[in-house]
Chains A and B, each alone.
Chain A
Amino acid sequence: MRYDQARWTNDEARYEPLLSEKSTTEVSTDDSPLPDDLTRDSLALPDLSEPELARHYTRLSQMNYGVESGPFPLGSCTMKYNPSFTEDLAAHPAAAVHPDQPTRTTQGTLELLFGLQDYLGRIGGMDAVSLQPPAGAAGEFAGILVAKASHEHSGEGQRSEVIVPESAHGTNFASAAMAGYDVVSLASDDDGRVDLDALEAAVGEETAALMLTNPNTLGLFERDIEAIADIVHDAGGLLYYDGANLNALLGQARPGDMGFDVMHYNVHKTFATPHGGGGPGAGPIGVTAELAPFLPSPQVERSDSGYEFVEPDHSIGKVHGFYGNWLVLVKAYAYIARLGDGGLEDASAKAVLNANYLAEQMDFEVPFEPFHHEFVASAGDRDAADVAKRMLDHGVHPPTTKWPEIVSEALMTEPTEVESRRTLEHLAEAFNAVADEDDETLAAAPESTAARRIDQVRAAREPRLSWQSLGEYTGGRTH
């Protein structure tokens, strides 16, 4: 299969022109109802009719690739199909309530939130869930704050370190640092898993928590998870579960049963809410009963008179101005309610089957096994970034590249459960065709996308981050 993305080209220097280049009008605030000293003088913004702007954004959409365009096996990102019906539910007029309304007028919203807290608790094996964090990284931050509050509450406030495996998501390091912790990096063993000896050596009186993804970023299940939990707990630390890879485990294993004390869920991964070109997501956190008193405020509880907000006894307070990404939570609830036990379990089973089947068809070597919902292939002596660019010409989105670094020229691949056998074979053909091409062809790719290979170096060296700063920057290479 080949792919030619729509490409709207204006002239030698531009593709689709900017809004500001189409039409801009400057208006004066002279006739405003406010005194002059409280207003700006004028405002210059694009001025397009509705038909013109509809065409502008339709063209832009045609120069963009989503899950409904084709396969999207981006490792660690779980780009599964986003069911359409959940969009209708999020757009339902009854979902449009104001966050400060009295809770007796928002019983439907609280019931849905309570239901989702309950669903996620069961799925993760956790005793209590907060839906407030608006993204996975926000969940990490909230979860680590919960761990910190619990240590301080029990007089262990001296614990100053969070341990993170070297192969972990970058957010783990950054979230722990934002919460005020020193980050201790932990090397993997030769099998790509946590090195127990290194962990033994790393833990101590300073240890606040270990953050872990399971299966890890290589797709491998940390088989020693119980020993890991014992080591961390014996040292007085807590075990944090990064839910980025939960799509491997639905109905198979639960973080709460493995000894994790706190976790986050990425509902935009596991529970199929759309990624929206970078967000919004939602990053609820689940905790054990021991940590529940420290959860963000408020929690939804059910009483005889209905649903109500309750502030946990030792709450860390809030991590979002209101109640998190409500519309995303509606979609996640609807997805879980649609799939139920059987659908959720099957989603993970098929995600793992698809990853295995795809890897089996591919020529690139996969050094670490047995993997689950994702695997990391090595592009060998090819440049993984070039491989990725060339795959675009085959009508597929490439995998995550050059990470984790434990595999050289990594191609981190996660096909998800939504691809058919035929699509997986097509994906494998794309990988294999690219593997057979010469370096020059790869370096010249992509050729059939809206834009050709982009010069990242110049973009960073001469930052132009708005149309106001463009000046003469309309093409023309400087090297």
Chain B
Amino acid sequence: MSDNHSRGSPYAPHTEAMTMAMLDAVDAESEAALFDIPDTVTFDGKFDIPERSERATRRHVEGILGRNDDLTAFMGRGHYDHYVPSVVEDLAGRSEFLTSYTQYQPEVAQGFLQALFEYQSMLVALTGLDVANCSMYDGATALGEAVTLSQRVRSISGDRVLVPDLLRDGKREVLENYAAGPGVIVDTYSTADGNVDTAALEETFDDDVAMVYAENPTVRGTIEEHLSAVGDLADAHDALFCLGSDPVALALLEAPASVGTDIVVGDASSLGIGTAYGFGLGLFVTREEYLRQVPGRLVGAATDESDRRTYTLTLQTREQHIRRERATSNICTNQAWVALRTAIHAVWLGPDGLLDLAESCVTRATDLAARVDEIRGVKAPVHDRHHFREFVAHTDQPAGAVRAGLADNGYGVHAVGDHEIQICVTETTERAVEEFIETLAEVAV
């Protein structure tokens, strides 16, 4: 195949002679004659998109991407950068995985099915809950799906869902869109010093609450200390308790099942992908009793004609292609390949490596906060809590100016208040900590 094509799609193998012979075989004068499109809606214009060789396309796209600044991002707030080993790219990139479809023919798709079954199982191990699906789009849409599930399973009617005032704006907007269909009202409860304010939560809690949502770690990096209290409140009002977390945090922090959690959602792409502009992997894990109401695809064990254990998509009567408007969700295409990557990364780390990584998320954030606190014009951490990966710092200078000053010098942080910046540190940014602190000291005064 030539790299310079001018006769059409470079991925269609037809020669001129082959095309003529095929047209002849189907009794058509031309390719155009095969289209049954009325003249009035036939497109006779141009897109004005030039054809390019592969080499020229790469140069073109690399040129565009190259206009991104080379920023060392000390950033998180729901999208994290952990080192992804080469073996993840190598194995997940195998074309038998990458170019396959949803496993409608399980006999020829055992490999992917087993990998997804293993992914589900690792989430069960991390959460202590019973049933994980094989992926949602991201943490925000998984939270939206949790709300619709709460509407289907709750024995007493209730149309309110409670979320913390610190919830990321984007996540809240997605949640509002999912909640609007079933007519659910999204209400806010207060937080105190970066954790759930249990007194405030109790005050707003009533029997009309279908679900309460909390995060651990929170979006401001604090480790939540009141999960059991939230679980007890949810129990007292027969509401569901939905917890947002991620696989690295789950390796160390309180197991969701032990604090009364009914659903765990979050972004599992903290493993397997690295920084990718918010490209995610929604995790969704719940209790056995809600099995029939779970959204998305489930892989289950099965047996085949040879009596051996196999795997297959199962309980599909929940899904849109069978149940249509009565399905538990509209999701069809999901994030299966990202789940594969996350699973491989988790296995590569192993339990020791995953726990080490989680512990380092605590120590790195704690250590960096202490260093940052020594800088004139900065106080850190703002919250008197334990932290995971990230923390909020108070700046005497306006946060926007500090953020801009850092960006000018090649560093990224979040501005989360008029005088508050948020800083995230992992093994991928630790190498730059000394220079970062020097720069922060210069721009923060």
Contact = CB atoms under 8 A, between A and B. Distances in A.
A277 B100 contact: yes
Contacts of B95: 66-69
A105 B412 contact: yes
Contact of B278 (A99, A105, A171, A467): A99
A79 B255 contact: no
Contacts of A105: 68-69, 71, 407, 412
B308 A343 contact: no
B198 interface: no
Interface in A460-479: 460, 463-470, 473-477
A454 B12 CA distance: 35
A179 B181 contact: yes
Nearest to B19: A353
B167 to A, nearest CB: 11
Interface stretch (B339-347, B371-379, B391-399, B432-440): B339-347
B231 interface: no
Interface residues of B, number: 192
A310 interface: no
Contacts of A34: 223, 252-253, 362, 386
A334 interface: yes
A141 B329 CA distance: 11
B2 interface: no
Interface string B42-79: 11001111111110011011101111111101010111
Interface in A303-319: 316-319
Nearest to A107: B67
Interface in B103-153: 103-112, 114-118, 120-122, 124-126, 130-132, 134-135, 137-141, 148
Contact of A465 (B38, B300, B308, B326): B300
Given A66-B96, A453-B107, A225 B101 contact: no
Contact of B108 (A15, A65, A96): A65
B276 A96 contact: yes
A48 B272 CA distance: 17
A356 B26 CA distance: 7
Given A277-B97, A340-B49, A346-B8, A98 B330 contact: no
A361 to B, nearest CB: 8
Contacts of A254: 43
Given A92-B65, A418-B12, A392 B100 contact: no
Interface string A267-289: 01000101111111101000000
Given A50-B87, A99-B278, A321 B305 contact: no
A202 interface: no
Nearest to A423: B13
Interface string B284-304: 000000010000011111111
A18 B31 CA distance: 50
Interface in B333-390: 333-338, 340, 344, 346-348, 350-352, 354-355, 359, 362-363, 366, 386
Contacts of B85: 50
Interface in A336-393: 336-347, 349-350, 352-354, 356-357, 360, 370, 372, 388-389, 392
A220 to B, nearest CB: 7
Interface string A166-178: 0001110111111
Given A119-B47, A272-B11, A475-B303, A398 B105 contact: yes
B47 A466 contact: no
A38 interface: yes
A108 B68 contact: yes
* Closest 5 pairs (CB-CB, A-B): A322-B278, A346-B8, A276-B337, A321-B140, A340-B51
14 contacts: A60-B112, A66-B97, A82-B99, A108-B64, A145-B180, A221-B37, A280-B333, A320-B140, A327-B276, A353-B26, A389-B105, A459-B301, A463-B298, A466-B130
Given A57-B344, A137-B332, A465-B131, 14 more contacts: A26-B351, A40-B253, A43-B354, A57-B92, A69-B95, A104-B69, A135-B333, A169-B332, A174-B320, A388-B105, A460-B317, A465-B314, A475-B303, A476-B303
